[in-house]
Structure 1
Amino acid sequence: MACSDKGNRHHRGLRGPPLKRRPRRTAEEVLREESFQEKKRTIHLQRRRVRTKLLKKEIQKELKNVPKQASKNSVLFIDALLFLLFLFSVLTVRYWSYGLGVIAGVLLGMVTIASHNFIHRKNNFRMYYFQFSLQQVREFRISHILSHHLHTNTIDDLEMSLLEPLLEYLPINKTPLKRYGQALVIAPLVWLTFFHAPFVKRYKEALSCKGKNLRITDLSSFLLPLAMYLFGGRSFLDAFWMWNYVLVVGALHFGFVGLHAAHHHPDIFHDGDVPRSTTDYDWGISQLDAVMDRKEISGSHFLVLTNFGDHCLHHMFPTLDHGTLDYLYPVFKKVLNDFDLDLRMVSQWDTITGGFQQLVKVEPNTAPPDLKKYKKK
């Protein structure tokens, strides 16, 4: 016992003099400590990557309150647009009117964009409206759904790489001729050939692979020119000419709207820019970094459906009908606010000018996107 007590006294001696009692903290110090602990908890939550999971959970609850008519309206809109497309296409031939052809072309572009809503869902016949543009649903599901939606604005995004070397949106070294030539000359040519180019490429590949890349559903692309020929009252060559005219106008509309809808602006993340994080990656925030939405489009079901609107929510929940997205904004904004994040809402003019600015950009951003920049304005 004595040895034990001596050892204990020796051990206590090593510890030095007893610590002084900690003075009582002021209310300000307590609040500061609580604030510090709250920040630590927030960082911990972020590291556990609960943001996207929390958003999904909250959205699932809110979906029960979304009226079913919302998705039905999408069907009504696209079917009405398709009817008008066939009507004006036939009238274009019958009256040999390039003015009517412009209307038909714009309608074709709108139908093509609207069908994107149905391509994201399980197989349905309305997704094949997309093929009136000579594009193929199977190819688009690979380049858009499996690539673009998972690897937005990175080198793995096929919707970026398939445009190269004609249009280079990544911030890389470009000669002055390349920078301004692609913005002023090449870009319009790409828009004009947006429909014909993949068609020619597909059938060129079909020759080398004995048609294995084709499907019987590809014949749906020719229903429009067939109707123009049968009901246009003119020769096959006349109908063929006007069909191609409608395709070019439609491609111009589709290409211009698609490339200036949400993803290309100097303040949007592109591969080569400094990423937000390499260790605590959050897929949901990466989508916020790579997307902007337009004030003029959001809020209108028709405009959202025909202009790639509500694009950030669409990237978060791509299989939801575009008509339901507007009902999810209150929950979406609440979750963003809880994590001190924001959705960048800009004007249509901002996305148009930003697209051209991104084409001529050569210096990558040295800091992650400021998601609150446009809220400050």
Structure 2
Amino acid sequence: MGKLKSTVPGLAYPSGRDNLLKTTFQFLEGRRKDDGAEGLWRIQDNLYDLEDFVKKHPGGAEWISMTKGTDITEAFEVHHLSEKPERLLPKFFVRKAVAPRMMAYTFDPNGFYKKFKERAREALKNVDYHNPSVKSKLIADGIATLTIASVIACAIFKSWVVLVICALLLTWLSIIAHNFFHMRDNFRMYYFDLSLMSSKDWRISHVLSHHLYPNTLWDMEIYIFEPFQNWLPGTNKSALYIIWAFLFNPIAMLVACFLQGLKRYYSLLVEWKKVEFRDVVPFALPVLMSFFASSPWEAVKLWLCILSLSSFIFHFIGLTAAHHHPDIFHDGDICRQDPDWGLMELDAVRDRYVIDDSTFLALTNFGLHGLHHLLPTVDHDYLELCQQAFRDTCREFGVDIKQFSSWELIKGQYQQLARNQIKANHRGGFHIKEKCN
């Protein structure tokens, strides 16, 4: 496919994107090469030394420690709804950066995102938005309890019906846990690790890559599937490639958790060289099942079957939830002129009917996706409080907030896999600009 050129202004080709394994460790190492942070933490064109603040960070030390040597401008802006962190920054200032920033995303005080954030802060003033709601915690813990009960039942009865139920519950639990690993450190984020995928890896690939730069060359959730699955337009996809991509798509969903698990433990032993509690969590289910199955090997076989089906359901929901459709911006399309981070974010996402009307469905199906991208650290249950602020700001800036149906996005994911057309894509409307030959 060759090296692509981003159509997002100022976005250079990231180091590490073409690495064979494409691990999250390699993503961060690439950022350290590219970001001009000079071994410190970069925000806009300023360098800060946060070393003494790592253990004091209310969101947990991990967020600060693993981003050392990188540009954290977008992460800093969108992870802090309160104005207090901005007031604290000057005490950690070291010097101006030498190299220019690689990203042209803006956070203008009069721009879309800053205005929306101010209104969202007002809308959330009566709730403790730094912590998950009681409702979300009850749903998460309830699904966790049912998941444990179902794996025990699966080990005892060896029923395919029970196995399917178990896989669905594990999928829901993994997606719910995604709500929690966006926040400060908490035990519920480890529910995600039961899927064999890593909550630490996803804090990088999902939170620090996909969430901040969706559908661009910097989005790990785009390039981790390449070259077998390519959602970017204008890359001269042949008819043979499109047929292959369609046939491989369900296989990719089926094995994705296992591939991420293999990379997780490779990276753990070779790159991170540090075992954490979360790294033994995935084996809690097969160990538990072994007490009720006829043999440990029987428990392992059932566990692998559960993981396979759960992987398929999880990635089917994830890949068709919000980002892939011909009417959604993908790098290669013509970028909007206003590079406000919030507007760029909304160009790369669409919300869904029905799913967004229920807290349970939103938590278990990556719902309220636009609001979640704009306010990633706010619990899904509280996002509904920000709907009016969202509508008002979208109206002020002429942003189309039309929702798609789940079926439109399911079809759209395959249409996007086949799309060669380059579009002028923004939430005000779409038109075909040109077609690659």
Question: Same fold judged by TM-score > 0.5?
Answer: yes
Q: SS where residue 345 of structure 1 aligns?
A: coil
Q: Which has the higher contact order (CA 8 A, sep 6+)?
A: 1
Is 1:188 aligned with 2:256? no
Conserved? CA contact 2:196–2:258, under 8 Å: yes
Per the alignment, residue 342 of structure 1 pairs with 400
Per the TM alignment, residue 340 of structure 1 is displaced from its structure 2 partner at its CA by 1.9
**In 2, Cα distance between equivalents of 1:53 and 1:111:** 33
Conserved? CA contact 1:81–1:111, under 8 Å: yes
Of 280, 300, 319, the residue aligned with 1:240 is: 300
Give the letter aligned to residue 328 of structure 1.
Answer: C
Per the alignment, residue 311 of structure 1 pairs with 369
Q: How does 1:285-304 map to 2 (within 5 A)?
A: 285-304=343-362
Per the alignment, residue 326 of structure 1 pairs with 384
Per the alignment, residue 36 of structure 1 pairs with none
Per the alignment, residue 282 of structure 2 pairs with 221
Is 1:60 aligned with 2:117? no
Of 236, 256, 271, the residue aligned with 1:173 is: 236
Q: SS where residue 242 of structure 1 aligns?
A: helix
Per the TM alignment, residue 362 of structure 1 is displaced from its structure 2 partner at its CA by 1.4
Of 131, 143, 150, the residue aligned with 1:88 is: 150
**In 1, Cα distance between equivalents of 2:163 and 2:306:** 6
RMSD: 2.0
Conserved? CA contact 1:152–1:287, under 8 Å: yes
- Name whichever structure is richer in helix by fraction: 1
Per the alignment, residue 168 of structure 2 pairs with 106
Conserved? CA contact 1:294–1:345, under 8 Å: yes
Conserved? CA contact 1:169–1:358, under 8 Å: yes
**In 2, Cα distance between equivalents of 1:244 and 1:95:** 16
* Identical pairs, percent: 38
Q: How does 1:1-377 map to 2 (within 5 A)?
A: 49-66=110-127, 71-171=133-233, 172-183=235-246, 185-206=247-268, 208=270, 212=273, 214-230=275-291, 232-277=292-337, 280-365=338-423, 367-371=424-428
Conserved? CA contact 1:314–1:325, under 8 Å: yes
Conserved? CA contact 2:398–2:428, under 8 Å: no
Per the alignment, residue 10 of structure 2 pairs with none
Per the TM alignment, residue 47 of structure 1 is displaced from its structure 2 partner at its CA by 7.9
Aligned positions, number? 322
Conserved? CA contact 2:213–2:345, under 8 Å: no
**In 2, Cα distance between equivalents of 1:345 and 1:314:** 15
Q: SS where residue 280 of structure 2 aligns?
A: helix
**In 2, Cα distance between equivalents of 1:321 and 1:284:** 19
Gaps of 5+ in 2: 1-106, 431-437
Residues 65 and 207 (structure 1), Cα distance of their counterparts in 2 relative to 1, 3 Å cut: closer
Query: Deviations 1:97-123 (Å, cap 9, x if unpaired)?
Result: 111101100111110011000000000
**In 1, Cα distance between equivalents of 2:394 and 2:348:** 16
Residues 88 and 276 (structure 1), Cα distance of their counterparts in 2 relative to 1, 3 Å cut: same
Conserved? CA contact 1:89–1:104, under 8 Å: yes
Q: SS where residue 142 of structure 1 aligns?
A: helix
Conserved? CA contact 2:322–2:349, under 8 Å: yes
Conserved? CA contact 2:222–2:231, under 8 Å: yes
- Name whichever structure is richer in strand by fraction: 2
Per the TM alignment, residue 369 of structure 1 is displaced from its structure 2 partner at its CA by 2.6
Per the TM alignment, residue 67 of structure 1 is displaced from its structure 2 partner at its CA by 8.5
Per the TM alignment, residue 90 of structure 1 is displaced from its structure 2 partner at its CA by 1.1
Query: Deviations 1:114-172 (Å, cap 9, x if unpaired)?
Result: 10000000000000000001111111111111111111100011111111112101011
Query: Deviations 1:309-355 (Å, cap 9, x if unpaired)?
Result: 00000000000000011121112101211222222311000110000
**In 2, Cα distance between equivalents of 1:252 and 1:371:** 34
Gaps of 5+ in 1: 1-45
Name the larger-Rg structure: 1
Conserved? CA contact 1:55–1:332, under 8 Å: yes
**In 2, Cα distance between equivalents of 1:321 and 1:212:** 32
